Amino acid sequence: MSPQTPSRLIVAISGASGAIYGITALKMLNSLGVESHLVISKAAALSLSAETDRSLSEVNALADQVYRVGDIGATIASGSFRTLGMLIAPCSIKTLSEIATGVTSNLISRSGDVTLKERRRLVLMVRESPLHLGHLKTMAAVTEMGAIVAPPVPAFYTRPQTLQDMVAQSVGRALDLFGLEAPVQRWGGMNADD
């Protein structure tokens, strides 16, 4: 990224389980002074109440700018809107597939597609398990296009004490991929006996 690129990041929360990843990302971006542009899918809005104690309006309040998922004319759908890139946390298989094919149906997949065409960083925290061959081929396709598939896999060397510890480490590592100094515990090495 050039020095003139604004310190702003698009954050999307799709319908996969794990809305807490997107919420944590918004909080971290606030603490880092990075402007956040949020879009939440309809399925994610429904899962918020099942997975968290936060309302949609509370999550929206964490972002600097919020867009409706159906607003494909929003600024974040244009390559002329300069950003550090886009984080989709969590990323559903539907969203992954739409981005991989370029057949976009909403603002999340359209913004992801634009992020790739502009050669900006796109990080997909894909949440699905187990994976079948179609999922794996789709992940390979977006990787070949320039995206980074970063499933939220816990790092146990950090000795997490809570679920939030594991979530924060995964999100922090995803934000590292944008060149942000995320508050994560770093591997310090270890002394192995010969």
**What percent of the chain is modeled with pLDDT above 70?**
95
> Across residues 143-154, what is the average pLDDT?
97
β-strand 65-67 against 85-91: which pairing, if any?
unpaired
β-strand 35-40 against 8-13: which pairing, if any?
parallel
> Across residues 6-35, what is the average pLDDT?
96
**What percent of the chain is modeled with pLDDT above 90?**
87
DSSP assignment, residue 96? Answer: H
The overall average pLDDT reported for the chain is 94
Domains belonging to the chain, first-starting first, are: 8-176 (3.40.50.1950)
pLDDT score, position 1 = 46
CA 136 to chain CA centroid, Å, is 19
Task: Judge whether 11 and 26 are in contact, CB under 8 Å.
Answer: yes
Q: How many CA atoms lie within 13 A of 60 on its CB side?
A: 12
For 103, residues 6+ apart whose C-beta sits below 8 A from its C-beta are: none
> Across residues 57-64, what is the average pLDDT?
98
Tens of pLDDT, residue by residue over 85-131, are: 999 999 999 999 999 999 999 999 999 999 999 999 999 999 999 99
